[in-house]
C-alpha cells in the first residue's frame, strides 16, 4: 500500500477531562457515553466514514480502561494505541506521540471529545495534498461555538494563512475545530518547546510554527456540524441536537426510538413535534 492509499489518523484520548468528573467518577472522558455510545466511538466511526484506513489512539489518563474497550470494539479500520506517560504536560505532547507513531508524512489529528461530521475529517484529509506543515479546519460560521470564551480563536488571512491562535487573541475571524492535518515537523517543534517550558499545548506549537514562517494554513469547515464536549451541559446539548435533526441522525448513523428520545430529552430540550418527526 502506497502512502497515498494509506490514510493515518490520530485520536487524542489522553487528557484528564476534569470538567466531566461531576458526571462520572470512574470513566475516562473518551468513554463517557453520548446517546449510549462512547465519545471515542463517535470519533472512530467518523474517521472510518471519512475513509481513514488506520487510526492511532493516544492514551494517557486511565489508559488501561481505554485499551480494554478498544480490544473489544469491532471496527473495519486498523486501530493501534500508543501510551503517553507525560500526558499531564499538555496535549501537544500527546499529539507528538501520535504523529511520531504514524507512518505517513501527513497525519490527520482529531480530539476524542469533539463530535464532528465526517465531512470535516474529509476536509482535513484533502488538505494533505497541499503538503502544508500544518492545516487546521476552522469554523467561520461559529457552528460549534457553545461558549466563545472557551473556544480557541484563530485569525486567518484571506489566503488561508493562520496569523495567530489562542483563547484571548484579538482580532480573530474563526475558531479552532480541533481537526488538523500535520507533518512530522510538528514533533520537532513540540520537543523544542518542551525543553524551554516543560509543557506544550497544540496551540503553543502552532504559534511557534507561525513564528518560524512555516506553512500553517486554515481549511474552512463549510458550516459542517461539530461540537467540543467539555462539560455535562455540552454532552446533553449534543445529544439533544443530534436527536432533533434528521440530517445529523443520518450523518452519525443514529436510529432513535421513543425510549432513546425520552431518555435524553429534557423539559427545555425536544418538543413533542420534534419527537414525532424523529419516529
User: 208 vs 16, which has greater pLDDT?
Assistant: 208
Biggest alpha carbon–alpha carbon distance for the chain: 57
Distance between CA 52 and CA 77 in Å, rounded? 7
Using 50, 70 and 90 to split pLDDT, how confident is the model at 259?
low
User: What percent of the chain shows pLDDT beyond 70?
Assistant: 86
In this predicted structure, which of 4-13, 208-217, 267-276 has the lowest mean pLDDT? 267-276
Task: Report, at the CATH architecture level, how domain 8-230 is classified.
Answer: Alpha-Beta Complex (3.90)
Rg of the chain (C-alpha set): 18
What digits encode the pLDDT tens for the residues 47-66? 999 999 999 999 999 999 99
Task: Note whether 276 and 254 are within 8 A (CB).
Answer: no
What digits encode the pLDDT tens for the residues 142-192? 988 777 888 999 999 999 999 999 999 999 999 999 999 999 999 999 999
How many Cβ atoms from other residues are within 10 Å of residue 51's Cβ? 13
Distance between CA 212 and CA 243 in Å, rounded? 45
Task: Note whether 263 and 235 are within 8 A (CB).
Answer: no
| Segment 229-243 mean pLDDT | 92
Average pLDDT of the chain is 88
Using 50, 70 and 90 to split pLDDT, how confident is the model at 272?
very low
Please give the pLDDT value at position 146. Answer: 73
User: 7 vs 270, which has greater pLDDT?
Assistant: 7
What digits encode the pLDDT tens for the residues 61-83? 999 999 999 999 999 899 999 99
Q: How far is CA 55 from CA 44, 48, 77, 105, in A?
A: 8, 9, 7, 15
Q: Where are the domains of the chain?
A: 8-230, 233-278
Please give the pLDDT value at position 22. Answer: 58
Whole-prediction pTM value? Answer: 0.89
Please give the pLDDT value at position 264. Answer: 63
Q: Given a cut of 80, is residue 255 above it in pLDDT?
A: yes
Q: Given a cut of 70, is residue 131 above it in pLDDT?
A: yes
Which one, of 161, 168, 160, lies nearest residue 203 by Cα?
A: 168
Amino acid at each position: 500500500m502506497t502512502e497515498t492509499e494509506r490514510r493515518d489518523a490520530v485520536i487524542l484520548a489522553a487528557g484528564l477531562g476534569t470538567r466531566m468528573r461531576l458526571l462520572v467518577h470512574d470513566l475516562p472522558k473518551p468513554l463517557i457515553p453520548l446517546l449510549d455510545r462512547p465519545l471515542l466511538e463517535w470519533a472512530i466511526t467518523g474517521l472510518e466514514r471519512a475513509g481513514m484506513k488506520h487510526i492511532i489512539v493516544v492514551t494517557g489518563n486511565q489508559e488501561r480502561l481505554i485499551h480494554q474497550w478498544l480490544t473489544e470494539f469491532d471496527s473495519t479500520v486498523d486501530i493501534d494505541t500508543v501510551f503517553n506517560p507525560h500526558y499531564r504536560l499538555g496535549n501537544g505532547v500527546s499529539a507528538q506521540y501520535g504523529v511520531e507513531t504514524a507512518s505517513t508524512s501527513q497525519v490527520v489529528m482529531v480530539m476524542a471529545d469533539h463530535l464532528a461530521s465526517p465531512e470535516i475529517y474529509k476536509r482535513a484529509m484533502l488538505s494533505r495534498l497541499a503538503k502544508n506543515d500544518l492545516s487546521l479546519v476552522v469554523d467561520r460560521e461559529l457552528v460549534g461555538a457553545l461558549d466563545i470564551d472557551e473556544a480557541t480563536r484563530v485569525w486567518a488571512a484571506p489566503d488561508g494563512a493562520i496569523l495567530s491562535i489562542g483563547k484571548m487573541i484579538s482580532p480573530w475571524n474563526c475558531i479552532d475545530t480541533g481537526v488538523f492535518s500535520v507533518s512530522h515537523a510538528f514533533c520537532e517543534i513540540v520537543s523544542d518547546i518542551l525543553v524551554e517550558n516543560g509543557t506544550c499545548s497544540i496551540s503553543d506549537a502552532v504559534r511557534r510554527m507561525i513564528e518560524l514562517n512555516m506553512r500553517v494554513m486554515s481549511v474552512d469547515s463549510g458550516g459542517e456540524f461539530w461540537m467540543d464536549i467539555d462539560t455535562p451541559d455540552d454532552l446533553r446539548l449534543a445529544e439533544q441536537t443530534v436527536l432533533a435533526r434528521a440530517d445529523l441522525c443520518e450523518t452519525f448513523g443514529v436510529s432513535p426510538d421513543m425510549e432513546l428520545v425520552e431518555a435524553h430529552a429534557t423539559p427545555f430540550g425536544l418538543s413533542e413535534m420534534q419527537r414525532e418527526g424523529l419516529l
